[in-house]
Structure 1
């Protein structure tokens, strides 16, 4: 067992802190959780946590011990409010997106997935990345929409911590890294990207032979077509092998989520369908079910609990 010698009990407060360290050490020794995971969740470095647990920390460890105490309290709260959170649910829409991602990677093509917010796009992207090799996902944003910033995000995702910060050398080292990888680059929130960045991504895909998927709202599609479909945009549009528009939540998706959470009954289903039709769709539905599960404390999630949870979330908005 880890030696807990960082604090010598001198008072009830010190006794409490020693007890916290001993409980943490027991969890680590029992492999219930890793020390690196605890360190991440309390925002300290693994070496700092190790020093505290082994009595080698030079500074006063009280602040860190307090963080560990808070971590233990939250862990106990989760145990006292067991939710049967199934994690990722393979809905009909998720299966379609998974197939599109696989198509892009296998055929080394560009695919565009676009549509409404809250239909499960981002969660499906994360699951595909988790379950497949050489899949790199970046998320565009206003601060990461320029050509250089987008390329640098890709470089960081590829593990290239020493990548150059100018676009020419940056593009070259990324191309070299991707060639022969048979990988897939996913750009979420791609509606933030401007034409030069999209064109650079097209060239990157062609020169490296990787798959590429651009994901976002309707703008990511309309900015490639519509009134702006001039000769330049037509060149980019012609490279898109497959397009998937998802414009609203499917009832079948709601049923799949209800089944995964073991929520039954027509009244509960009707409430969940109504929630899924609001802005945020499945995202709002999942948040509502999670809160209802906390209220249920391991019991069945009822229509009333769903309505109470939704009201609570709406009050906080």
Structure 2
């Protein structure tokens, strides 16, 4: 296949927040912009950019032999706590790295010429199986740096997968940390490993959960007749934000989103069960992890569809310390610690 240049996939979109009818959809209760809606828009733009690189005819016909799906959200960085809902937002992005069938899409959001959000999405193209896509031609030194950064991101993802707590035990330092936390929760009077007490200013991790059930209607389907990934991200973020509010007893601000994995598609008509939990906290920062699973109501079988991670802050306010009680919760705690670092 013929190489494509980065500029070939460059796209820019304006969100006209100066239009009151549009602003009503985007504004939140605090006079800022709803971040969940922006996540939906980013997912839409990532798909559009991917098709413009892989099959430009689809931009005119709307038909393509390829099926391009969101594999993961590598990272979203939020540079401003407050995004002005009265000023237009410019969304822009392009392909910055390609593999055999995967693409990395770099996007950004601007207001008044200043970046407010950066995002990195990984997309995968398929036909009957895994498709082969156009390679990327690098023409400038800046493009070369972007492509090399994509290579580094891929290596980082592979390394993190190898070091995952699902694959390997915690490090020696992490094991010592877990044991120290365990000792702090023992009742010194009982001399028993079963008698646990909660340290002052702390909360048991299992008490920080918040759940939601979503019925998936055709209104939110994509071109593949599955639930649109951006909609799933918005619902997960809104649940995580509500969880963050309850946990912190304050107004939280999201500062980062990383490693949103799409494990399986969500069929229209299915029941999506979402569970949010605070996995780690330190000072005024904490991590909310949202686990989403598709439930087959006829067979009573649930399958994990997505895992989301959101990092929040609460200004200068301190939040409770999350304390794990079981070994499984300790692994969630260490995973959150790694992400916050």
Q: Which TM-score band applies after superposition, normalised by the shorter structure?
A: under 0.3
Instruction: Flag the structure with higher strand content.
Output: 2
TM-score by length of 2: 0.19
Q: Which has more helix, going by share of residues?
A: 1
Q: TM-score, normalised by structure 1?
A: 0.20
Structure of higher CA gyration radius:
1
